[in-house]
Structure 1
Amino acid sequence: MSIYVIADIKVTDNSWIPDYAANVHNIVHKFGGKYLTRTGNITTVEGEPMDTTLVALLEFPDITSVQNFAGSDEYAPYAKARQDGSVSRLHILDAVDLAGTIPYLEKG
């Protein structure tokens, strides 16, 4: 079952971004993940706007792949740079339809 990671990031220091953007994509791919979007074009259609600079949505094949990526020595310096230069919230979602009403998802 696919696992999705939503990275909600408010950049406080831009210096980490070029190195992160140039290198983390390959690390994500190495652990079976892929970016579905990385954007700063965020439009709020309901509720209060997020205080966010960018949002990334990633897909991984399973939770173990996410954990291996996030805990890898290869990603560690980039994670530290992101944490030092931003306020970040990372959310993990699975593809379970708890209500059981979406026909193309497996019943929860």
Structure 2
Amino acid sequence: MAYYSVLAVTPTSQDWIPDYIGPANALVAKHGGKYLARTDSHQRLEGEGEEAALRIVIEWPSKQAALDFMNEPEYLPHLKARTEGSISHHFLIEGKDDLA
């Protein structure tokens, strides 16, 4: 079953970004992930709250693949840099419809 990482990221520093992109791309692919969206082109249609600079959607082949990526030793320093250099919210969503 597919899972989706949905992130809202607002950088508070740009310093981490150049060193983050390449390794993150490679590690997402290593764990079977596929970026579906990485963009600052988004619009709130409903609700209130803080606006994020970037919206990111990653499709994973399984929950375990997403968790393995997040716990990947090679990723941990990049995760630390991202979370220290941004306001980030990351949700893991199972690709199913409980209301169908």
Q: If the length of structure 2 is used for normalisation, what is the TM-score?
A: 0.94
How many Å separate the matches in 2 of 1:27 and 1:91?
Answer: 18
- 1:49, distance to aligned residue in structure 2 (A): 5.8
* 1:37 corresponds to: 37
**1:50-69 → structure 2 map (5 Å cutoff):** 50-69=50-69
Amino acid paired to 1:30 = K
Amino acid paired to 1:65 = A
Amino acid paired to 2:17 = I
Contact 2:8–2:54 (CA<8 Å) still a contact in 1? Answer: yes
How many Å separate the matches in 2 of 1:40 and 1:22?
Answer: 19
Q: Give the percent of matched residue pairs that are identical in Structure 1 and Structure 2.
A: 34
How much is the aligned-residue C-alpha RMSD, in angstroms?
A: 1.1
Q: For this pair of structures, how many residues does the alignment match?
A: 100
- 1:55, distance to aligned residue in structure 2 (A): 1.0
How many Å separate the matches in 2 of 1:58 and 1:50?
Answer: 21
- 1:24, distance to aligned residue in structure 2 (A): 0.6
* 1:106 corresponds to: none
Say which structure, 1 or 2, has more relative contact order (CA 8 Å, 6+ apart).
Answer: 2
How many Å separate the matches in 2 of 1:75 and 1:82?
Answer: 10
Q: If the length of structure 1 is used for normalisation, what is the TM-score?
A: 0.87
What secondary structure, in the 3-state scheme, does the structure 2 residue paired with 1:15 have?
coil
- 1:44, distance to aligned residue in structure 2 (A): 1.5
For structure 1, the 5+ residue unaligned runs are 101-108
For structure 2, the 5+ residue unaligned runs are none
Amino acid paired to 1:61 = P
